[in-house]
Amino acid sequence: MKIYAFISSLFLTLMFVIVCLGLQAQEANIVQYSISQGLPQSQVNKIFFDSRGMLWSATSGGGISSFDGLNFTTFNESNGLAGNIVLDIEEDNDGRIICVSSWGGISFIENNNVVKIIKFTDDFNLVNAIEKDAYGRIWVVGNKVGYLENDELKFIDTDLTLPFVNKPNIRTFSDEIYVTTNNKLIIIDAISLVEKRVKTYPYNLNLAINFNDKLYLGTEKNGVIIDDNGTTNQCILPKSKVKSEIDVTDFLVENSSKLWITTKSGVYNIDNDIVNYYSEDKGIAEYELTSACFDAQGNVWFGSSGEGLISIVNTPFSFYSKTYGLNKSDNYGILEDEKGRIWVANNEEGIFVKDNNVTHHLTTKNGLASNSVRILKSDNNGNVWAGTKEGLSVISEDFKIRNIDSFSGVSIKSILINDEEVYVGTQSKGIWLVSQNNSVRLFSTKIKNAYSLALDPNHNIVIGTNNGCFIKSNGEYSLRTEAIKNTFISNITFDRNGNLWVGTDRSISRWDGDHFVNYDISDGLTSDLVYILFSDHEGFLWVGTNKGLDRVSIDANSEISKIKHYGYEEGFKGVEVNSKGYYLKDNGEIFFSTVQGLHKYNPIYDYNYSYNTPVYISDIKLFLEPVDELKLTGEIRNWFGIPSSLILETNENHLTFDFFAVDYLNPNGVTYTYFLEGFDKQWSPPTSSRYAVYSNLPPGSYKFNVKQYGNDFSQVASLNFRIKKPPPPFYRTFWFLLICLILFIVVVYYFTEYRTAKLKSQQAFLEAKIEERTQLIKESEMEKTVLLQEVHHRVKNNLQIIISLFRLQTHFTDNEEAIDLFKNSQNRIRSMSKIHEKLYETKDLSKVEIKTYVEELVSDLVTSYDINNSVSIKSNIQNCFINLTELTPLALIINEMITNSLKYGLKEIENPEIFISLKQSVVGDTVLIVSDNGKGFDESIWNNHHTMGVELIKTLTEQLDGTIELTQDSGHPVYTLKFKATL
């Protein structure tokens, strides 16, 4: 029993200290391509990335192929290659791919076609390697060393020996060419093109490079030898499990401190003198690797002997699928302590702590409250707080465990540590503030279940419950659920703007101070089932679901502006995350717990939106058939022979554009957007299709553009083309229109001449008629004028007879009143008689010139009454005309006014004066003003119409449709008559 107890105790101790020796770090994301993916042959001798971003593979029997991340294009003897066993590849300064076959010669590939071959000769019947130097010169090495000049081979004399134990190889560095063969290194001056020196080593050499001013020699069996200015040392590389010898096949320099080494037993890298061996345990099998290179996205590629192509893809995620404890599917809480140890909480097996190559396993046997652990948090003292299904445990740096008694048997659902304050959320027992001495329950019984905790910007605690979110607002805590899709709050976080977000199994929701605003799959999320929600140092919101990760970008108003998804294709192999299974490091790296074990996100390798993706238009089809080369114009052509422009006939209006983007991070996930200028109004929606079809395009000029969707740095491939307008019908040709114009001008000219002559004839006839009619009218007018003048003359004479009768009558009466009455009547009749006299004297019988008439009328009246000729007349009369209808009442009004002044107003007045003024505007407004310097007028007589004269003046004023006014402001009467004359 004692032995058994000792063995059990020893076993538990070993399980605690180290469960698994030789545990590995995070694994790289390995992708392999072989015959099943389209590679023509699985034995790859050399790989090479060209200036267009495409990967070329030289195979032993399958020819040479190019790879764009999704498809392989193969060149072999059937389409013109010199030979199917291709040993090496290079690209010249013109962008041509040059490859050497073990027999047959050197092939040149341009515009996706084999365009030239240099045949081997009897004295140069073998080429093993090809290399471009710093000056763009292409070097070849086989049984001779030479270079290409104007596509012809030139040879130099070297100490190359036959027969070969090791096939010769060639590398360039600055102004030197390194040629290795058997145990010799031949150094050639790239400027003088002569051999500089030969160095011999006690090893068979495969190749040599210069790295950090040291010669690194790859040997046949002894790994890497370093020649530091003549001092030779062996670089210690770990031995393979199955091979004791290290056969070096290629060197690849990543930067000034990192060197990759491919061998026939796997791959190594030397980083700052630290050697890493990428064996099978680290994710890449012990393949026989032949060569290595980098693509533009930083991925490293290897060619292998029998396994095709292998790539270590720099996705932002690495994983721990082979690391004990970290590879569990039911891990939840994660943290990394100050010593760099990774802690994971397992739902059934306690806690695993990875410390370099050792993993510690903590369970109830070590004192843990329960083996079902979901929550891990660290405090400022280096302790780790573990929330279990049966209580709360505190673990020190040396793994000593203390359980807090007040939580015995209680399921811990959340922990929040703020400086020295520790908040613990439980199921059914509410939320607690824990200190070293005691635990205090907060909010009494208001909260029973606290599933998530956070601090707002004011350091107030926010609690997620199964009934909503407990928030402090206006100094008081309250449970808020307004508009939320689900009241079970599993996650809480605050964004960079200080706004609260919560996660449920139906959405993520933002609290706007009044209600929750919900976002789900309709807004771009991959799934509504949210397991993780937090904000990182860059201000992104991370949403972990059952379908992967969504990185959410928000604007200044906390509205979602962009969502980027990470799933299996993006390197997130676990896809489904576990609840609250994340840990955000200070450097921006993030650990995630998934159903496939622990994953780590490194933002440095998140290239999706910063890689300058090459995009190519690879083919153009017209009505689904290749376009005739005669229609291709423009000098600029891409690798696929696509020109810069294209000219098509009118009915050639159904075009298909094939395109692709070179992407090795996520080739299956590339989406495109395209835009046809001159036809489309905006860029197309994202599509994974690698072609675009346009039919029934009208004639016009167009420009087709395509780019990778969602990548602001993507290149844009473009093609200009024009569809000719149809030839116009004959009636719209220039000559037809010109002839029609000439005929039109001639017709118009002769028609105009004809019409002019006819109009002149008609004009002459009409003028004669008008002259005849005019003469008749003039004669008639003359007759009418004479007749009217005669009438006016007779009327005037008759009125004069009446005046004479009144004058005779006065001689037969002594009654002064009757005499005065007769005299007034004579003057009134004389006023009318004078009108007819003026009409008789003028040619215009419709109106009388008023100035002469009034002056003569006033003069006659003064003569009639002023026998002493003592009254002075001052007049200001405008030379205007008044028609006969208005002149008679006006004359009688003037007669009454002047008569009144002469008879009554000016008696006994020294220097008597009468003033008369008459003005007329252009629109006929006429103003008559009559005044004298007499003693004034009795206004009672004027206002009450007591005299015939006053009555006559006012009656005549009404006939004129005018107004008359008497004013005596200065003691003298002033009569003002206003009326509108008919012009």
pLDDT at position 290: 94
When pLDDT is averaged across residues 959-982 and rounded to a whole number, the result is 87
Tokens of 283: 């994710």
Average pLDDT, the chain: 86
Each residue of 311-366: pLDDT tens digit?
988 888 888 887 889 999 999 999 999 999 999 999 999 999 999 878 999 999 99
Quickly tell me which residue has 């590398």 as its tokens: 171
Question: Quick one: angle between helices 948-959 and 884-900, nearest 10?
Answer: 160
Give the pLDDT score at 609: 56
Amino acid code (one letter) for 24: Q
DSSP 147-181: EEETTEEEEE-----SS-SS--EEEEETTEEEEEE
pLDDT digit string, tens, across residues 636-652: 678 888 888 888 888 88
Least confident of 367-376, 913-922, 949-958: 949-958
Q: Kindly report whether the global pTM for this prediction surpasses the value 0.75.
A: no
Q: Is 630 a residue whose pLDDT tops 60?
A: no
Examine the pLDDT at 17 and tell me if it is beyond 90. no
- pLDDT of residue 242 exceeding 70, the answer is no
Nearest to 303 by CA among 356, 264, 330: 264
Give pLDDT tens digits for 57-80.
999 999 999 999 999 999 999 999
User: Strand order in 64-67's β-sheet?
Assistant: 44-49, 55-59, 64-67, 72-75
Beta bridge partners of 919: 927
Q: What is the pLDDT of residue 345?
A: 97
pLDDT in the model for residue 788: 57
DSSP per-residue letters across 397-453: TT--EEE-GGGTTPPEEEEEEETTEEEEEESSS-EEEE-SS-EEEESTTS-S---EE
Could you say which DSSP state residue 257 is in?
T
pLDDT score at 8 = 38
Question: Helix 850-865 vs helix 816-841: angle between axes, to the nearest 10 degrees?
Answer: 150
Residue 892's pLDDT band, with cuts at 50, 70 and 90, is confident
Alpha-carbon gap, residue 159 to 181, rounded angstroms: 10
Cis geometry, peptide bond prior to residue 698 (ω within 30 degrees of 0): no
Distances (CA, A) of 317 to 575, 713, 913: 11, 22, 123
CA angle (318, 324, 325) in 5-degree steps: 90
The pLDDT value recorded for residue 521 is 94
pLDDT digits (tens, 9 = 90+) for 512-566: 999 999 999 999 999 999 999 999 999 999 999 999 999 999 999 999 998 989 9
> How far apart (Å, rounded) are the C-alpha atoms in residues 841 and 410?
137
Q: How many CA atoms lie within 13 A of 320 on its CB side?
A: 28
Judge whether 508 and 493 are in contact, CB under 8 Å: no
For 708-764, the DSSP string reads: ETT-TT---EEEEEEEPPPPPPGGGSHHHHHHHHHHHHHHHHHHHHHHHHHHHHHHH
Burial class, 11, CB count within 10 angstroms (exposed 0-12 / middle 13-18 / buried 19+): exposed
Band of pLDDT at residue 871, cut at 50, 70 and 90: confident
345 with 375: CB under 8 angstroms? yes
Q: Give per-residue pLDDT as tens, 647-690.
A: 888 888 999 999 999 988 888 888 999 999 999 999 999 999 99
**pLDDT tens string 762-810:** 888 888 888 888 887 776 667 666 655 555 556 666 666 776 677 777 7
395-399, Cβ contacts within 8 angstroms, sequence gap of 24 or more: 395/351, 395/362, 397/337, 397/339, 399/16, 399/353, 399/360, 399/362, 399/366
Return the number of other C-beta atoms located less than 10 Å from residue 8's C-beta: 10
Q: Is 925 helix (H, G, I), strand (E, B) or coil?
A: strand
- Ramachandran quadrant class, 105 (left: phi over 0; alpha: psi -120 to 50; beta: rest): left
Inform me whether the pLDDT recorded for 866 exceeds 70: no
Q: How confident is the model at residue 36 (pLDDT cuts 50, 70, 90)?
A: very high
> 269-273: long-range contacts (C-beta < 8 A, 24 or more apart)?
270/235
pLDDT for the residue 770: 86
Mean pLDDT to the nearest integer, 45-59: 95
The type of residue at 980 is: K
Is residue 273's pLDDT more than 70?
Answer: yes
Lowest mean pLDDT among 394-398, 716-720, 850-854, 862-866: 862-866
Q: What confidence score (pLDDT) does residue 19 get?
A: 33
How many CB atoms sit inside 10 A of residue 870's CB? 12
247, pLDDT greater than 60 = yes
Banded pLDDT at 699 (limits 50, 70, 90)? very high
Average confidence (pLDDT) over 286-307: 90
Q: Which two tokens stand for residue 939?
A: 């206004």
pLDDT of residue 7: 35
Would the pLDDT of 114 be above 90? yes
Dihedral in degrees, nearest 10, Cα atoms 707, 712, 714, 720:
40
Q: Which residues pair with 378 in a beta bridge?
A: 384
Give 479 or 934, the one with higher predicted confidence: 479
Largest Cα–Cα separation, the chain: 189
Q: Is the pLDDT reported for residue 22 higher than 60?
A: no
Q: Which two tokens stand for residue 50?
A: 């060209």
Residue 727: pLDDT above 70?
yes
Two structure tokens written together for 598: 């622990």
pLDDT score for 591: 96
- Over residues 216-221, the mean pLDDT reads 94
At residue 5, the pLDDT reads: 40
Q: Which of 50-64, 157-171, 598-612, 755-769 has the highest mean pLDDT?
A: 50-64
* pLDDT-derived band at 632, boundaries 50, 70, 90: low
Confidence class of residue 13 from pLDDT cuts 50, 70 and 90?
Answer: very low
Share of the chain above pLDDT 90, in %: 52
Element (H, E) at 17: helix 2-17
The confidence score (pLDDT) of residue 839 equals: 53
Where residue 483 falls among pLDDT bands split at 50, 70, 90? very high
Q: For residues 56 and 65, is the Cβ–Cβ distance under 8 A?
A: yes
Q: Which single residue is written with the structure tokens 């001449």?
A: 753
The label of the residue with tokens 């001495």 reads 437
Say whether pLDDT at 137 is over 90.
Answer: yes
pLDDT at 330: 94
Q: Which residues pair with 620 in a beta bridge?
A: 657
